[in-house]
Amino acid sequence: MTGPTLVLVLAVGVLVATGVTLLLERSLTRILLGVILLGNGVNLLILLGGRSGAAPLVGTAPTDDMSDALPQAMVLTAVVITFGLTAFLLAVAYRSWYTSGDDEVQDDLEDRQTVRLAERNEVATADLGGDGPDGDPEQVDPEPARRRLRRSEES
C-alpha cells in the first residue's frame, strides 16, 4: 500500500489555502469560488485518506483486499451539498448584482457600531494604560480619555 504522493498533498494544501483566502474577500463571486475550491480540496483530502484496494463488491475479492466505500460515499454527499451551496450563492450574487449593480458585501449597522466601539476602547485603554506624570503607573490622569470619549459620542 502506498500513501498519497507529495503532489496530491500539495494540491490539497493549495486548494484549501486558496479557498479560505477567497472566502475572506468582500465580493460574492470570490466567496463563491472560495467555497468551490475549499469543497474540492476537502473532498480530495477525504479520498486521500481512504485505503486503496479492490472494488468493494461482495464476491469479487477477499474482504481484506477491498477498499473502504465510506470515504467515497462521504465525498459524493459533500459534492451534492457543495453543488446546492454553489447554486444558492450564485442566486445571491446575481440578485445582489441585479439590485445594486455590484456584488460586494456591504457593512451593516452592527459592523459600523462594532468598529466605533473598538476605536473607543483602544483610545481609552491607550490613555488609561500609560504612566503617570512622574513615571508612576498609579498616577494616571483619566481625564484626557474621558474628553475624547465625550467628543466621539457627540459626533
The residue whose grid cell reads 465510506 is 70
Q: Around Cβ 15, how many Cβ atoms within 10 Å?
A: 20
Domain match, 10 and 84 both: yes
Residues 127 and 90 both lie in one domain: no
| 58 inside domain | yes
Same domain for 117 and 96, yes or no, is: no
User: Are 127 and 76 in the same domain?
Assistant: no
CATH number for position 47: 1.10.287
Which candidate, 44, 51, 58, places its Cα nearest to that of 16?
44
The answer to whether position 34 is within a domain reads: yes
Cα angle value 119/123/125 (rounded, 5°) = 115
**Would residue 11 count as lying in a domain?**
yes
Task: Calculate the alpha carbon distances from 46 to 12, 15, 106, 139 in Å.
Answer: 10, 13, 35, 59
For the segment 115-150, what is each residue's pLDDT rounded down to a tens digit?
Answer: 888 888 877 676 655 554 555 555 555 566 566 666
Query: Mean pLDDT over all residues of the chain?
Result: 80
Q: Which amino acid is at 146?
A: R
Determine the structural domain holding residue 26 and report its residue range: 6-100
Q: Which of 57, 78, 100 is the last residue of a domain?
A: 100
What integer is the mean pLDDT of 90-118?
85
Q: Are residues 53 and 117 in the same domain?
A: no
Residue 1 lies in a domain: no
